[in-house]
Amino acid sequence: MIAKKINLRAEVGCADALAALLVFMVEESKPEPGCVEYVLYQQKEEPEEFFLIEVWESGEHLEAHKQTAHFAQFKEKAPALVASKSSEELNHFL
């Protein structure tokens, strides 16, 4: 399994638009083959801060995800909405 945490910080004034784009990503990604988990969180005290937890059955499934139309749409729209982005690979114990 491949587990990742994606951290995103919205540009000033863009938290709502980024939230909508991320919700779209969750809705489109969850039904993909090999998607075990795809969950979005927004920090209560800093609403411009988001993170996604993604769990994929394999690296091949994650790579296929990166080739989807919705991933391409995210990559097209995100630069105007995201001030910073980082990701971490996580150990999956289940």
User: Domains along the chain?
Assistant: 2-87 (3.30.70.100)
Each residue's pLDDT tens digit, 6-64: 999 999 999 999 999 999 999 999 999 999 999 999 999 999 999 999 999 999 999 99
Q: What is the pTM of this model?
A: 0.91
CB atoms within 10 A of CB 17: 14
Residue 91 confidence class, pLDDT cut points 50, 70, 90: confident
pLDDT at 94: 62
